Every structure is written in C-alpha cells, then in structure tokens.
Amino acid sequence: MSKSQNAQILAHMKRGKTIQPFQALILFRCMRLASRIQDIEEMGYTINDVWIKARNMYGEVKRVKRYSLVR
C-alpha cells in the first residue's frame, strides 16, 4: 500500500524541501495542496507559507503559495 499524500508531502518537507501546487501535482498527484497542508497542520506541525510568482503551463505568471515545514 502506498503512503498517503499527507505522509508523502510531510516526508518531502521533513527533508528540508519546499513545495508548491504544481510540484505537488507532479510528485504526488495532489490537486489540493492547501487541503493537505491543513491536514498536516492539524497533525500538530507548523507550516510556513509565502506567496511567490510562478509560470503556469501557458507561460503566464501567477501567484502561488510555497510551503515549508517550520522546524
């Protein structure tokens, strides 16, 4: 049985990596990263988020959140 998206995203951030929505989709097939982050916070972890500008698949610049685990 594979790990849940919550567990995969948490493990990714525990390795010191950040994550943003497009990465979550590619790496973990997660279409609702903000919901998974909320789940992780409810588990007792503190998550930092910052707004960044990123290009979408059409080359347009959009604002998205980048999340990281507060140690």
- pLDDT category at 3 given cuts 50, 70, 90 is confident
Cα–Cα dist 19/59, whole Å:
20
Cα–Cα dist 26/24, whole Å:
6
Tokens of 71: 């140690």
Is the confidence at residue 2, as pLDDT, over 60? no
Cα–Cα dist 7/50, whole Å:
22
Is the confidence at residue 32, as pLDDT, over 60? yes
Cα–Cα dist 56/6, whole Å:
24
pLDDT value for 51: 98
pTM: 0.88
